[in-house]
Chains A and B, each alone.
Chain A
Amino acid sequence: MTASATEDLLREFTPQVLGALVRRHGQFEGCEDAVQEAVLAATVQWPAEGVPNNPRGWLVTVASRRLIDQMRSDHARRERESATATEVAPEDVPDTDDTLVLLFLCCHPTLTAASQTALTLRAVGGLTTAEIARAFLVPEATMAARISRAKQRIKAAGSSFSLPDGAEREERLRVVLHVLYLIFNEGYTASSGSELYRADLAHEAIRLARMVHAQLPEDGEVTGLLALMLLTHARREERTTAIGDLVPLDEQDRTKWDRGLIDEGIELVKASLAGPALGPYQLQAAIAATHADAATAEETNWPQVHALYLILERIAPNPMITLNRAIALAETEGPEAGLALLSALDSDERVAGHHRLLSVRAHLLEKTGDTAGAYEHYRRAAKSTASIAEQRYLEARAGRVRT
């Protein structure tokens, strides 16, 4: 078995093994460390010696031994006497899938989003601390501290290893979905040196979203989020040129979009829209599906995009959505209508002076023929963004309207 096949197998087993261990021993923090050690041991041993007959059982046994060694040494340190720790029989893992329980725990509301994403990638995604650190461009020690702090917080919060009920479950699931969305975006908006690792984050987010979808196929928002990721990911190759310049949606080569991902995404959108209630991810996925449906940018069903943004704005009011609706409105009713909608955002401090507002205004001014205004706004937008690719794009647009 190759190293990468081993890695896939290990990532798949990680949440199952961790779930089994926590069910048996409690103490999530200690179990999580033990599983990480077992996974690292497997990474070394399996490619060299072959995958054991019962790989899950192997991982559970090795992780349990590590955990008990740790408990013994803690105990010895405390009491300075030999104690009888429970021996672990190398029995198989129960069939319960603890992925969801683990996700709820890792996305505990007392944690910051940065800690939720890091812990989720390690405990559920099976990534090593070094890999997570590399993906987020921070030193390993920084990431290790963040993960360890997150586990302390979960312990302090006294969380039980079970799925919450009713309204709390609903609320916590939204946090889980948001964390997966953040992981996806982190990978999708790769803006610096190591695009490769960050693109892996998008893959990882999709894999985790598929796991959640498999557990909760009836949940419209879970389906919607997975669809949104697939439809967005389908365009990844065409989003930038070979040298990393941004290509706007209307200039992308649509024949090179990933048809397989688009078809799967559209099917999921259809399935989710048939459900009883609509949520923000479903609507965003429906918008992405509308774009994916158009063979050329000119054929885009803008009235439908606008209508979807209007519903989205109603159920989840947010200036960024209004901003996007202005783009759709400009397509259906002309750039002046779009600009009029934007002027309502100038007094909203969440978005006033934001580079997205400046760049959308620049685009619409360009369409009205106000090249001086467009130039001014492209330049200001270029100064305001924190993305080099976006800055290059905006400066190029500024240069284009001036000549």
Chain B
Amino acid sequence: MKFLISLHINPAAMDTLSDEEKAAIGAGHGTFIEALKKSGELIITQALVDPSQAAVVSVRNGQPVVTDGPFLESKEYLGGFYLIDCENKERAIELALQIPDTAIEGLGVEVRQVMFAEGQLEA
């Protein structure tokens, strides 16, 4: 079963963390990635640039409209994700609980099952 673990970040909360705390989060992700690779459960993980760099695109009356992001008016933004393939939802949750973000106020970790997949994975 495939699951997307999305990492939601509150930039204001991130700013309150010390350099040591930020480094610990980075190291925690590194350990997590290695473990997932070894167990054969990692499909891919990616982290995104700051939401201030996002472009919001739409088409109105057939004309493209591009404005500065982010689209969501929210305190939290999608910061990155893990796409995993594992046994079941319980295992996905067990894995997500190992992500360092889960222990930090202002960072959200969400687990959702994938419903449809197409692309490189079946090449």
Residues of A at under 8 Å CB distance from B?
112-115, 118, 134, 136-139, 141-149, 191-194, 197, 386-388, 391
User: What's the minimum C-beta distance from B85 to chain A, rounded to whole angstroms?
Assistant: 5
When the two chains form their complex, are residues A137 and B87 in contact, meaning their CB atoms are under 8 A apart?
A: no
When the two chains form their complex, are residues A142 and B122 in contact, meaning their CB atoms are under 8 A apart?
A: no
Interface footprint category on B? 20 to 34
When the two chains form their complex, are residues A136 and B37 in contact, meaning their CB atoms are under 8 A apart?
A: no
Q: Which listed residue (A114, A147, A191) contacts B87, Cβ 8 A?
A: A114
Given contacts A136-B85, A194-B122, A386-B113, contact A147 B2 (CB under 8 A): no
List A contacts of B60 (CB < 8 A).
none
Q: List 27 A-B contacts (CB under 8 A).
A: A113-B87, A114-B85, A118-B40, A134-B122, A137-B2, A137-B121, A137-B122, A139-B120, A142-B40, A142-B41, A142-B43, A143-B40, A144-B40, A146-B39, A146-B40, A147-B40, A148-B40, A192-B116, A192-B117, A192-B118, A193-B122, A197-B122, A386-B113, A386-B114, A387-B115, A388-B115, A388-B116
Please name the residue on chain B nearest to A138 by beta carbon: B85
List B contacts of A191 (CB < 8 A).
116
List B contacts of A136 (CB < 8 A).
85
B85-115: CB near A (< 8 Å → 1, else 0) gives 1110001000000000000000000000111
Docked CA distance A138–B42 (Å): 9
User: What's the minimum C-beta distance from A210 to chain B, rounded to whole angstroms?
Assistant: 27
Please name the residue on chain B nearest to A385 by beta carbon: B115
List A contacts of B37 (CB < 8 A).
141, 145
List B contacts of A388 (CB < 8 A).
115-116
Given contacts A113-B87, A114-B87, A136-B85, contact A193 B117 (CB under 8 A): yes
Given contacts A142-B85, A192-B116, contact A149 B122 (CB under 8 A): no
List B contacts of A134 (CB < 8 A).
122-123
Residues of B at under 8 Å CB distance from A?
1-2, 37-44, 85-87, 91, 113-123
List B contacts of A148 (CB < 8 A).
40
Please name the residue on chain B nearest to A144 by beta carbon: B40
List B contacts of A193 (CB < 8 A).
116-119, 122
User: What's the minimum C-beta distance from B97 to chain A, rounded to whole angstroms?
Assistant: 18
List B contacts of A143 (CB < 8 A).
40
List A contacts of B44 (CB < 8 A).
139
Docked CA distance A193–B37 (Å): 24
Docked CA distance A115–B91 (Å): 14
Please name the residue on chain B nearest to A133 by beta carbon: B121
User: What's the minimum C-beta distance from A254 to chain B, rounded to whole angstroms?
Assistant: 30
User: What's the minimum C-beta distance from B108 to chain A, rounded to whole angstroms?
Assistant: 22
When the two chains form their complex, are residues A145 and B38 in contact, meaning their CB atoms are under 8 A apart?
A: yes
When the two chains form their complex, are residues B121 and A138 in contact, meaning their CB atoms are under 8 A apart?
A: yes
When the two chains form their complex, are residues B87 and A139 in contact, meaning their CB atoms are under 8 A apart?
A: no
When the two chains form their complex, are residues B40 and A145 in contact, meaning their CB atoms are under 8 A apart?
A: yes
Given contacts A145-B37, A193-B122, contact A139 B43 (CB under 8 A): yes
Q: Which listed residue (A118, A141, A144, A149) contacts B39, Cβ 8 A?
A: A149
Please name the residue on chain B nearest to A147 by beta carbon: B40
Docked CA distance A149–B114 (Å): 24
Please name the residue on chain B nearest to A391 by beta carbon: B115
Please name the residue on chain A nearest to B119 by beta carbon: A193
User: What's the minimum C-beta distance from B87 to chain A, rounded to whole angstroms?
Assistant: 5
Docked CA distance A320–B114 (Å): 23
Docked CA distance A194–B119 (Å): 10
Please name the residue on chain A nearest to B44 by beta carbon: A139
